[in-house]
Structure 1
Amino acid sequence: MTRPAEAAPAPDASPILWHRGADGIVTLTMDAPGRSANTVDAAFVTALTAVADRLEGERDTVRGIILTSAKETFVAGGDLDELIAAGPEDARRVFDFSMALKRALRRIETLGMPVVAAVNGTALGGGLELALACHHRIVLDGPGTRLGLPEVTLGLLPGGGGVVRTVRMLGIADALQHVLLAGARHTPARALALGLVHHVATSPEEMFGAARAHIDAHQQSRQPWDEDGYRIPGGTPGTRSLDAVLPSFAAHLTRRTGGAPLPAPRNILAAAVEGTQVDFEGAQVIESRYFTELVVGQTAKNMTQAFFFDRRTVDAGAARPQGEPPHRVRRVGVVGAGMMGAGIAYVCARAGIDVVLQDVSREAASRGRAHSERLVAESVARGRVDAAEAAALPARITATDAVEELAGCEVVIEAVFEDTALKHRVLAAVEQVVGEDALLCTNTSTLPVSGLAGAVDRPQDFLGLHFFSPVHRMPLVEIVRSTTTGDRALARAFDLVRQIGRTPIVVNDGRGFFTSRVMARYLQEGVAMVGEGVAPWSVERAAARAGYPTGALALLDELTLTLPRLIRAEERSAAADAGEAWVPHPADALLDRMVEGHGRTGRAGGAGFYEYGADGRRSGLWPELSDRLADGRSTVLPMADLTERLLFVQALDSVRLLEEGVLTSVADANVGSLLGIGFPPWTGGVLQYVNGYPGGPAGFVARARELADRYGPRFAPPALLLEKAAAGESFGEVRHRGARAERAAV
């Protein structure tokens, strides 16, 4: 973008460049040397403090200030490398850092002269906090520009005055609901509507022109909250209208967290409320104290590792074969127009790709296309897409019963029923009509991809693309590489997943792969607890306390109780074919009694672990569940054991999958578990949970052995975990090499 004036780097390469024009306007241009983005780190705070000193010393020659950036973004936020490294012993340093930033901003904010933020790109976290300390905020519109305070999604709260200023600007209720607790990333238009910015510019020239015009029109400026008699919108605690609202926020947090160890929302609420009962400076101290508590705690480290570092690693293509050229798809075929196939067709069409949706009848294919029309209509009603896109998106989908219309598709995704013979027939037919370089994919959640590859003549161009339901909402796609999948196919699949806006993880073949297998462990453990005589409501409460979005019994009802029985039958058959012993799970007998003895197959069948009304809504747990299935036994176990059984059984099996080479990346394991199967966010994912457990992997091993002694050998720590514990190591990244992982680099 065009800078407003010539700016020369300071001799010490300061991240903030100073230029005073002949008109007396000082432009402060943030330009961290040697970095692609500006961050609020120690060097930045030092520079900002020096800027405040200079402004105070030269205030008689300064008419106004414009704060902008030389980077493509305004400011990316705080330096997460610094934050994630801080431990309890660093609490004073973290607090002092937060207060030093606030003091520098406050000094500039109270100079009396107009300070304008010319926000030329995304401003998240610390970036928006800098802008909020300015009297007037202008943002340059752009398709990817976002503004917000998303710290809560990393287990943190805004530590640079974001809580204090948004509460005083918007009021406690609106600040909490729209900015702080949601952690939403707003478009410029939405930020304007919320009152976070004052003007949206369409060009850099307009942005800087508006900034100078504001300064010309305001010889002096003060923040609204510094004016005499200013009242916080909506009132403060003790105000009748606010007191009627605040309990609902507390209740919402309780429902949202379910008792899981998520301290950030609690600290945000406390800082917001307590900060309104003191002056501005006192509120800043309160915010920094709550910020420091989170920074030095384990939960924020877990969430930052997973949702920032691990996800960045995954999205950047660490698992993508190097040397393969990037590829964009123009035409995709989807075979099978059920809920999965229709959902896949929709997300492809939404990405601008032409789709051929094929099923056994034109009517079935048309119903699948109608699914996209319904989703688009919902988006129009919510104001997310306009009428033109509402018409264009379904038009990209061709519904047909003719497999021949798949000709010309660069990628075909088979999404028919989970039946090996059926998939073989479909894949063989598809291969006959598509081009010789077409990528062939199967959307299967449990069937080994290497076995399905036998249906095609080009197994090197075949792999699994495991989407999750509902496809239009779930951000993850699990790419399953068979023993014959080539690097070219894997790279093209990775590029397609990124093209449709999804996060790809790459795993090697195995029954259930990663996500389905580890999800099954959670469901089985919940059922096993009921079989032991644990009250079903205790099982579901334990899941909520652990942080799972849905209880094990409720989720199994949604998936149907017949599904795990089908998977079990296939696994038993596979074990017999391989000459291996079959070891039943403690949950098996209870599931059989539910289905065969009581005809309860889940929500779709009208009855499962829960009761359902005529409208299909869950009305409560089956009252006879304990008596019928636990033979009247009643077992009371410590809630800590129940919650950790659910967490440990999934984490331990993930370590086994890493041993077996199905998982090849720690980042894929963590991101896949969080985005695909609902592993609790506070843990940072299945392997970060092991890393962050009290005592690290060694502490995890000790607890696993306790659980194994009490509840069975499925909790016994695998060899790889024992190795890590003995060496005092955590799970880090592993290298991708061929079809299997290099375990030495775990």
Structure 2
Amino acid sequence: MSAIQFEKNADNIVILTLDSPNQSANTMNADFRQALSETVKKLKADDAVTGIIFSSNKKTFFAGGDLDELIQAKPDTATEFFQMIEDLKANLRYIETRGIPVVAALNGTALGGGWELALGCHHRIALNDAKTKFGLPEVTLGLLPGGGGIVRMVRLLGLQNAFPLLMEGKQFGVEKAKSLGLIHDTADSIDELLNKAIAWIKANPKSVQPFDVKGYKIPGGSPSTPAVAQMLAIAPAMLRDKTKGCYPAPEAIMAAAVESAQVDMDTALTIESRYFTYLATGQVSKNMISTFWHGLNAIKSGASRPKDIAKWQAQKVGILGAGMMGAGIAYVSASKGICVVLKDVSIEAAEKGKAYSQKLLDKKVSQGRLNPEKRDQILANIQATADATDLQGCDLIIEAVFENHELKAKVTQEAERYLTENGIFASNTSTLPISGLAQASKNQANFIGLHFFSPVDKMQLVEIIKGQNTSSETLAKAYDYVQQIGKTPIVVNDSRGFFTSRVFGTFIQEGLRLLAEGVHPAKIEMAALKAGMPVGPLAIQDEVSLTLSEHVATETRKALQAEGKERPKSDADDVIHSMIHEFGRKGKAVGAGFYDYPEGAKKQLWSGLSHWTKANTITEQEMIDRFLFVQALDTLRCLEEGVLTSVNDGNIGSIFGIGFPAWTGGAIQFLNQYGLAKAAARAHVLESKYGARFKAPDLLIKAAHDQTPIA
């Protein structure tokens, strides 16, 4: 069966129905390209055709490029890849320039290549549906729109208006598309959609794209227009400041947009194809497609969820502790229609926690993103209380109290009696071993860890921690709840610090070690940013608070001593101790840490850090390598030790949980793409210079020897 069904009606209007075989959505795969070539041959052989309509037989209009195919593109096949793209665009361009009306009847979402196909039509009619999304999100996968999207968006919207949609991959709905002039009409049913398309063709027997009309000027002006030229003079510097040079896609998009705006349409499309080939055959896009497409889809499909256990939904969730974490968990749960009991030691504290949801919801209402009725409905889902008996009937209780073993044991024993039969109890801890916390429970099989990240309403990841006695049924329920509230779950086994907190600590500690070695603090922070980390280690340490880090280190040392083990102090510990006890600087919360926080002004590094600064010849690249390798190697140890249960969870967790650079595809993929033998050799050099934390795990050495990726 062809991916494009060709039908001509009595009015000689050709209806091209997109219906990729063996797929739930239409994509620009080999089947589509072949079908498009055959379609164009038919059109060229038929002079009687009066118009063309693109429609879809799928639930959505068109999903975009075939990522399974794109990830296979290699530098040594760049010429063939480029020609394939050019041939595809030539076929679409023939349809666009034949001189007869071409309409896109958009029955649903059109993203990436699907939106590019729609842009190649003269008239676009969309089905009225609030769930429908349009846009060009390729940049989020390290690519650019290679099917004419850059060229046509710039010609229709102008450079300034097109830039955010192209370089940030912003998606938009039907109403926004109408306001931009990208959607010309709407319909309330499939029949009306087709009827309107036919009517428009009959009313416009000769039609061309506006930018193909002689004398057409790009909205806002060409790159040489003074106002645009002024914007373009600073735009590259602003972009580089944002990407730190780690992400080639936004830079390629900007270059393709500006260059293509200065030439004729066909040359512009070729320029776009060249940049697309450069990105598609590069390593960064492969890293990002592997993790953000294949990896996330595997998690969504339940890759780490126990099999053969029925899907489950939480009906009533109890949350112990209405601080920042508890309040955030209450908000995301209530927003998904779950009844929430938010308990604290006093009703005032519980109400304060509920007020956090009120604040977030009020902001959405003021922005027009939520109606007042929906806000009130969500707030009604949250019951603030100081009475433990209100937890009666909860099928999930999550404790989110301070990181103290005794306190957590106390609230566990107080609350779990109110769980429904087969209800589960979860601890939101970031460091304390779950198996130890579970000892306070009367049913350890139903006890699990749910590590949320702050702020909960914005952070996508939830780390699910299995205790030694956690049952498969409890793990499945926890996985289902995390997906129920719209978060991304990864599954790890029990260990001190689990995966994310443990590895995240190595990043911060490396920054503190560099400071102790005498490196200027501004150089440390900049090296971390240039590696692709979202924030520098000193700034992050201030956010976490130095006192909390000291407390965790002390508690860890005590626990290890009780087990007959030792956690030796490091230069990083000495820096923390001096900052707190010698200089009285405890972090952002008190307005004084590694940074000063002047009221109403931008934070700045504390001048007193010169206490550590001395002559140091370390290069920026050496610091970047230390930041990336110390995290990647420890992530691999987590996999080797069985803390991580899959490579995919390690990659996703490192990016969404600890901010490991997205361009790498994750901490383990960083080693794969670096080259395993090369990575092992680099680790050996770093170990010889800086110590055992850079020792290559056996898993890396074996993979390098076998020349097989860690997967």
Q: Please, what TM-score do these two structures have when normalized by structure 2? A: 0.98
Q: Could you say which residue in structure 2 is the equivalent of 1:697?
A: 676
1:26-425 alignment, distance < 5 Å: 26-60=14-48, 62-177=49-164, 179-259=165-245, 261-425=246-410
In the alignment, what sits opposite 1:21?
9
Corresponding residue SS for 1:245 = helix
- Trace 1:601-612 onto structure 2 (pairs within 5 A): 601-612=586-597
- Distance in 2, matches of 1:248 and 1:385, equals 36
Report the residue type matching 1:640 in the other structure.
Answer: Q
**Matched length:** 711
Letter in 1 for 2:645: T
Q: By how many angstroms is 1:251 displaced?
A: 3.1
User: Once the 2 structures are TM-superposed, how far is the Cα of residue 34 of structure 1 from its aligned partner?
Assistant: 1.5
Determine helix, strand or coil for the equivalent of 1:539.
helix
Aligned counterpart, 2:685: 706
Q: Tell me the equivalent position of 2:606.
A: 622
Structure 1 position 563, deviation (Å): 1.9
* SS of structure 2 residue aligned to 1:206: helix
Aligned counterpart in structure 2 of residue 664 of structure 1, from 645, 668, 690: 645
Q: Residue 322 of structure 1: SS of its match in structure 2?
A: coil
- Whether the 8 Å contact between 1:145 and 1:188 is mirrored in structure 2 is yes
Asked if the contact 1:477/1:497 (under 8 Å) is kept, the reply is: yes
Q: Does the Cα contact within 8 Å between 1:28 and 1:68 map onto a contact in 2?
A: yes
One-letter amino acid of the counterpart of residue 155, structure 1: G
Q: Say whether the 8 Å CA contact 2:595–2:604 is kept in structure 1.
A: yes
Report the Cα distance in structure 2 between the residues aligned to 1:699 and 1:143, rounded to whole angstroms: 50
Residue aligning to 1:519: 504
Unaligned 5+ runs, structure 2: none
The aligned amino acid for 1:373 is: Q
Partners of 2:457 and 2:444 in 1: how far apart? 29
The CA deviation string for residues 475-508 of structure 1, in whole angstroms up to 9 with x for no partner, is 1111111111111111111111111111111111
Q: Deviations over 1:336-361 (max 9, x none)?
A: 10011001000011111111111111
The residue type equivalent to 1:208 in the other structure is L
In the alignment, the residues of structure 2 paired with residue 585 and residue 654 of structure 1 have an alpha-carbon distance, to the nearest angstrom, of 20
For residue 436 of structure 1, give the secondary structure of its aligned residue in structure 2. Answer: strand
Question: Which residue is equivalent to 2:446?
Answer: 461
- Supply the distance in 1 between the matched residues of 2:688 and 2:602 (Cα, whole angstroms): 36
Q: Distance between the aligned counterparts of 1:652 and 1:667, measured in 2?
A: 15
Spell out, residue by residue over 1:117-175, the C-alpha distance to the aligned partner (whole angstroms, 9 max, x if none): 11122211111111110111122233432111000000000110000000001001111
| Distance in 2, Cα, partners of 1:419 & 1:363 | 23
Partners of 2:700 and 2:555 lie apart in 1 by: 29
Counterpart code for 2:478 = A
- The letter of the residue matching 1:691 is N
**Alpha-carbon distance in structure 1 between the residues aligned to 2:693 and 2:419:** 46
Distance 1:386 1:558 in 2: 34
Name the CA distance, whole Å, in 2 between partners of 1:494 and 1:141.
34
Return the alpha-carbon distance in structure 1 between the equivalents of residues 213 and 13 of structure 2. 24
Residue 570 (structure 1) aligned to one of 555, 566, 585 = 555
RMSD: 1.2
TM-score (norm 1): 0.94
Distance in structure 2 (CA, Å) of the matches to 1:59 and 1:534:
73
Mapped contact 2:130–2:174 kept (Cα < 8 A): no
Cα distance between partner residues in 2 of 1:247 and 1:381: 36
Secondary structure, in 3 states, of the residue corresponding to 1:587? helix
SS at match of 1:437: strand
SS of the residue aligned with 1:672?
Answer: helix
Q: Kindly state the Cα deviation for residue 636 of structure 1 after the two structures are TM-superposed.
A: 2.5
Q: Which moved more, 1:637-646 or 1:429-438?
A: 429-438
SS of equivalent residue, structure 2 residue 364:
helix
Cα distance in structure 1, aligned partners of 2:561 and 2:8: 80
The separation in 2 between residues aligned to 1:389 and 1:278, in whole angstroms, is: 50
Shift of 1:633: 2.2
- Deviation, structure 1 residue 525: 0.3
Quote the residue 2:695 is aligned against: 716
The 10-residue stretch of structure 1 (605-614 or 547-556) with the greater mean CA deviation from structure 2: 605-614
* Residue 533 of structure 1, aligned match among 494, 510, 518: 518
CA distance in 1, matches of 2:22, 2:603: 59
SS in 1 for 2:603: strand
Deviations 1:646-693 (A, max 9, x none): 011000000000011110111111111111211111011111111111
Q: Name the CA distance, whole Å, in 2 between partners of 1:559 and 1:332.
A: 27
Letter in 2 for 1:19: E
Rounded Cα–Cα distance in structure 1 between residues aligned with 2:602 and 2:155 = 42
C-alpha deviations, 1:445-481, integer Å up to 9, x for none? 1111111101111111110111111111111111111
User: Conserved in 2, the CA contact under 8 Å of 1:533 and 1:634?
Assistant: yes
Q: Deviations over 1:38-90 (max 9, x none)?
A: 11022311221221121121132x22111011111222111111111111101
Say whether the 8 Å CA contact 2:629–2:694 is kept in structure 1. Answer: yes
Corresponding residue of 2:476: 491
| C-alpha deviation, 1:258, in angstroms | 2.3
Q: Which amino acid aligns with 1:624?
A: G
Q: Give 2:706's match in structure 1, choosing from 709, 727, 731.
A: 727
Deviation per CA, 1:500-549, whole angstroms, max 9, x where unpaired? 11111111111111111111000000010000011101000101111111
What is the Cα deviation at residue 218 of structure 1?
0.9
C-alpha distance in 1, partners of 2:650/2:567?
Answer: 27
Structure 1, residues 360-414: CA drift from partner, whole Å, max 9, x if none?
1111100111111100011112221112112211111111110100101111111
Residues 610 and 618, structure 1, Cα contact 8 Å, conserved in 2: no
Output the CA distance in 2 between the equivalents of 1:223 and 1:533. Answer: 62
Percent identity over paired residues: 49
CA–CA distance in structure 2, aligned partners of residues 449 and 188 of structure 1: 47
Alpha-carbon distance in 2 for matches of 1:487, 1:138: 49
In 1, Cα distance between equivalents of 2:427 and 2:68: 39
Residue 69 of structure 1 contacts residue 75 of structure 1 at CA under 8 Å; is this kept in 2?
A: yes
Question: Secondary structure of 2:507's match?
Answer: helix
User: Contact 1:116/1:134 (CA < 8 Å) preserved in 2?
Assistant: yes
Q: Report SS of the residue matched to 2:14.
A: strand
Contact 2:315–2:338 (8 Å) recurs in 1: yes
SS in 2 for 1:32: coil
Amino acid at match of 1:652: L
Contact preservation (8 Å) 1:535, 1:634: no
Separation in structure 2 between the aligned mates of residue 612 and residue 464 of structure 1, nearest angstrom? 35
Matched letter for residue 703 of structure 2: K
Q: Distance in 1 between matches of 2:654 and 2:106?
A: 36
Q: Which amino acid aligns with 1:75?
A: F
